[in-house]
Amino acid sequence: MKIQSLLLATLLFISCSSDDDGDTNQDEENQFADIVQTLPQDTWQVTYFFDDGEDKTENFLGFEFDFDAEGNVIATTDVFSETGTWSYEGSSNDSNDDDGVDDDEELILQFSQDNPFDELTDDWHIQMANDNTIELFDEDEDGNDETDFLTFTRI
């Protein structure tokens, strides 16, 4: 009987231990939220852009993208500059969902209608983000089952 009581007490103690990850579900839901601090820290370049079934990375060769903490982005070369805006949307606020991918995190880019920057204007789903690389994708809305990809790399 003493052994059973000791075993029961041990099991209760283990099952009642505190959970150090108290907000784990929230962290998993917004695993890329640090992008808000990462983007404004340095200058970025487009190292891959796949749109409408073809590689269009060369359209952005030489451009440097500077994101600021207020939500502005400037893409510049030696002779040209284009201004836009950016924002992060967490998984719990999927209000701009336009392609059926629910509960995702997005980097929303808005540029002018000037080519080629109009092709970057979208609500990009964040596939991967770390201090040096941000990989994004977008499911086409027109029903052709194509996926567009955009990768920014820190310079």
* Tens of pLDDT, residue by residue, the chain (155 residues): 555 444 444 434 444 444 444 444 445 578 999 999 999 999 999 999 999 899 999 999 999 999 999 999 999 999 999 999 999 999 876 554 555 666 689 999 999 888 899 999 999 999 999 999 999 999 876 667 789 999 999 99
Q: What is the pLDDT at residue 4?
A: 47
In this prediction, residue 92 carries a pLDDT of 76
pTM above 0.85, yes or no: no
At 13, the amino acid letter reads: F
The domains found in the chain, sorted by start residue, are: 31-154 (2.40.128.270)
Alpha helix positions (H), the chain: 2-15, 24-29, 35-38
pLDDT value of position 84: 97
- From the CB of residue 116, how many other CB atoms can be counted at a distance below 10 Å? 16
Specify the 3-state DSSP secondary structure of 64.
strand
